[in-house]
């Protein structure tokens, strides 16, 4: 799968699992785009595990949400949380146990398309891994990417187990004919072991191209200016960075 952001100005950011650094990678791409003067919006289709505030289409997330992290790291105000559920579960399960309506991916597609008509770049962050269910019909962020004809930037882990998770994720993208915008290691350890070091070559082999980025562990705790510098060093030029 070759890196291809396509002709659209939308990138869907997904992961091989939860906790791999999707939000920090989203913030890194957004920070560099905004610093380059691009009109950039970030969309969180479904936020789970956050209790404060009602959320809703067009509204930013409240404190503790993924969009709060993006705003803190980038200074962007053009952020949009489409739905929110209090329990830290998949969007479909979180809606079910709370009694709230599930995430509406058809409505999300329309909203994102309208944003993209007036922005230079729209970043759409998923929840958990690529095939996490968003509604009772089993639709996923991969289905939304396909409907938007948008490429997917895949965030993966560095350590043991990542090769299988990454291979399955990339295979699922291929099956849905979703283009790959790149593969990024979302949290590179300060002292990588043998497995982490060897995985870099294997992850690139799975992607069929050099890695699109590698962000150090703890990047999300940095002040905005330092974060932008780390993002610039860690991401490839196609994502606004300087990584070779």
Residues labelled as active-site residues: 44
Count CB atoms within 10 A of the CB of residue 110. Answer: 12
224 contacts 74 by C-beta, under 8 angstroms? yes
Which structure tokens are listed for 8? 């659209």
Name every residue whose Cβ is closer than 8 Å to that of residue 29 and which is 6 or more positions away in sequence: 11, 13, 123, 153, 231, 235, 239, 240
Contacts 24+ apart (CB under 8 A), 207-211: 207/1, 207/3, 207/166, 207/170, 207/180, 207/182, 207/183, 208/1, 208/2, 209/1, 209/2, 209/3, 209/182, 210/236, 211/182, 211/183, 211/184, 211/185, 211/236
Residue with tokens 């291809």: 4
Backbone angles phi, psi at 53, to 5 degrees: 80, 150
How far is the C-alpha of 91 from the C-alpha of 131, rounded, in Å? 11
159 contacts 199 by C-beta, under 8 angstroms? yes
β partners of residue 122: 10, 41
Name every residue whose Cβ is closer than 8 Å to that of residue 211 and which is 6 or more positions away in sequence: 182, 183, 184, 185, 200, 203, 204, 236
């Amino acid at each position: 799968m070759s890196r291809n952001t396509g002709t659209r100005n939308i990138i869907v950011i997904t992961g091989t699992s939860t906790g791999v650094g999707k939000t920090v990678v989203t913030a890194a791409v957004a920070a560099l785009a905004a610093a380059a003067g691009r009109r950039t919006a970030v969309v969180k289709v479904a936020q789970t595990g956050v209790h404060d505030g009602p959320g809703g289409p067009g509204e930013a997330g409240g404190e503790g949400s993924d969009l709060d992290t993006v705003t803190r790291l980038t200074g962007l105000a053009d952020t949009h949380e489409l739905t929110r559920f209090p329990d830290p579960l998949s969007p479909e399960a979180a809606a079910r146990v709370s009694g709230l309506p599930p995430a509406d991916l058809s409505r999300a597609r329309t909203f994102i398309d309208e944003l993209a008509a007036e922005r230079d770049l729209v970043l759409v962050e998923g929840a958990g891994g690529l095939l996490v269910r968003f509604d009772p019909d089993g639709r996923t962020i991969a289905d939304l990417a396909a409907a938007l004809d948008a490429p997917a930037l895949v965030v993966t882990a560095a350590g043991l187990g990542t090769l299988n998770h990454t291979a399955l994720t990339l295979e699922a993208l291929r099956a849905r004919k979703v283009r790959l915008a790149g593969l990024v290691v979302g949290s590179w350890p300060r002292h990588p072991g043998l497995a982490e070091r060897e995985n870099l070559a294997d992850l690139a082999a799975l992607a069929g191209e050099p890695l699109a980025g590698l962000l150090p562990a703890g990047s999300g705790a940095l002040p905005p200016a330092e974060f932008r510098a780390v993002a610039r060093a860690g991401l490839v030029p196609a994502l606004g960075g300087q990584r070779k």
